[in-house]
Structure 1
Amino acid sequence: MRALRAMTWVELKLFAREPVTVLFLLVLPLVILYVLNGVFGSQPDPTVWEGQPPVDFYTPSYVALTAATAGILSLPVHLAGYREQGVLRRFRASAIRPATLIGAHMVVAGALATAGALLLTVVSWIGYDVALPEDWLGVLLAYLVVILAFTALGGLLGLAMPTARAAQGLGVLLFFVFMMLGGAGPPKEALPTSLQHVADVVPVTHAGAMLRHPWLYSDWDVGATAVMLLILVGSVALTAWRLRHEEAR
């Protein structure tokens, strides 16, 4: 645990030296939320957005997107860069396990995503009078599962990608897919039928639903929870297998 705390502090300071990445994670969701609110207005439509006002629908959806962005865009690039530079190999020869480094990156990504989620919520509340969560505890539990799932997925992608550039390219691609088809862009009902089917398997779709239900309805989306838990458990299991496989080489 001491090694994890020390490594997390080091990685947090290194991450703070990349202001472009920090601004991307903190500011971009606000910009897109502002644009969408200007396009769609604030009046609910029973045919889209689950009958909710657009800003009430999009705010928890963008909290989910912020968590996903930290997990699949920033985290894999750093881990893949470390693999490319031989840092993980050197860690295997020291007393620090590579899993500690991955855990530190997950904590840093989770902290940054949480800061972005809080900023997004506060701005939506002050600027657009967004509905605050009906069930705060449910939202916090849902967010914990969502952030753990996406950071675990990011750790897996960081180990799987051969270079930092490859990880960045994949992350940018996934970000736009998640944004456009995961409930954070055009309403799902406005998409062609084929893209609606694709949207059904996009992780952010389920993450957004998992957050929206305690946020807006004081209930729980069991199906979305099962999907996010599957991503979390599967990512952790595959990451552990990958680390054991590389240590055995």
Structure 2
Amino acid sequence: MGQSGLRVVLKLTWIELKLFLREPMTIVFTFAFPVVLMFVLGEIFGGQADADADVFGRVGAMNYYAPAYIAVVAMSVGVIMLPARLTDYRSGGVLRRFRASLVPVWAVLGSQVLGVLVLAVVGGVLVVGFAAAFYPVHFPDSLGLLAAGFLICSAAFAAVGTLLGAVMPSPRAAQGAGLMLFFVMLFLSGASVPTEIMSPTMTRIGEALPLTYGVDLLQGAWIGGTWDRTSALVLLVVAAVAGLLSLRLYRWD
């Protein structure tokens, strides 16, 4: 990719960010919903450092939930916002105009992914800031591992969202599929209900969901400064497979 290609991607990314921020769904599911749900969980389970040690890994509820909801933010932008945007572009003829102007498909998809990453960073910072302001949350044990895990997690969900945008026939279908995935993963991944108190059946279902591995990866970096290689590998495989399928199946019209 030359300098001209990079400029195209960055310009498209800036435009996409402004368009994303005009969408009420972006504000709700990226910035408001994770914070509100964290507040509810914090009030239910409390913020004491030794609360429910067997459930929350002896670190307290909010040290458990803060990294989990960083992953939730990455998921929400990737599987709700991104597919709807891509299908809206296709149904509205925007992609045909891109193609007519010789903008390559990788530049269009790349700008969408970069926009998702920026929004996820902002949403993640809001989650951490809220948790730190109102509950006894300690600083991440490894900020570097947390950042690396966040990038991998965001890439995986951006790839999944791009794949949904490639195969869904309309913006409503894409948004519906994204919302269904969002809530299934939210409640079965350990992000809301700790896996220690879930039934064996629900736990097995959760093991098939990408968010489970995103939560494990970020919690390991936050709580113990450890790198969960299995979770990182699963997310990288998800990103690679979904990304390649997206490029293969992506249609301009």
Structure 1 equivalent of residue 30 of structure 2: 25
Task: In structure 2, give the amino acid aligned to 1:21.
Answer: T
Partner secondary structure for residue 196 of structure 2 = helix
CA contact (8 A) 1:77 1:164 kept: yes
Is residue 201 of structure 2 the alignment partner of residue 194 of structure 1? yes
Does residue 162 in structure 1 map to residue 194 in structure 2? no
- Please state whether the residue corresponding to 1:49 is helix, strand or coil: coil
Alpha-carbon separation, structure 2, partners of 1:233 and 1:41: 39
Q: Distance in 2 between matches of 1:219 and 1:191?
A: 24
Asked if structure 2 preserves the Cα contact closer than 8 Å seen for 1:88 and 1:98, the reply is: no
Moved over 3 A (4+): none
Task: Work out whether 1:40 is the aligned partner of 2:45.
Answer: yes
Task: Tell me how far 1:20 sits from its aligned partner.
Answer: 4.4
13-22 vs 2-11, which moves further: 13-22
What is residue 112 of structure 1 aligned with on the other side? 119
Query: 1:52 is matched with which residue: 44, 49, 59?
Result: 59
Structure 2 counterpart of 1:7, one-letter code? L
Normalised to the residue count of structure 2, the TM-score between the two structures is 0.92
Deviation per residue, 1:157-202 (Å, 9 max, x gap): 1111110000010111111111111112112122222111111111
Which amino acid in the other structure matches residue 99 of structure 2?
R
1:28 Cα shift? 0.8
Please, what is the CA RMSD of the aligned residues?
1.6
Gapped runs of 5+ residues in structure 1? Answer: none
- Decide which of 4, 11, 19 is 2:9's aligned counterpart: 4
The CA distance in 2 between the partners of 1:50 and 1:233, in whole Å, is: 31
Q: 2:138 aligns to what SS in structure 1? A: coil
Asked whether the equivalents of residues 29 and 76 of structure 2 are also in contact (C-alpha less than 8 Å), the reply is no
What SS class does the counterpart of residue 137 from structure 1 fall into? helix
Gaps of 5+ in 2: 1-5
Greater helix percent: which structure? 1
TM-score of the aligned structures, taking structure 1 as reference length: 0.93
Q: Percent identity?
A: 34
In structure 2, C-alpha distance between the alignment counterparts of 1:127 and 1:17, rounded to whole Å: 29
Matched AA of 2:31: L
- Determine if the alignment matches structure 1 residue 177 to structure 2 residue 184: yes
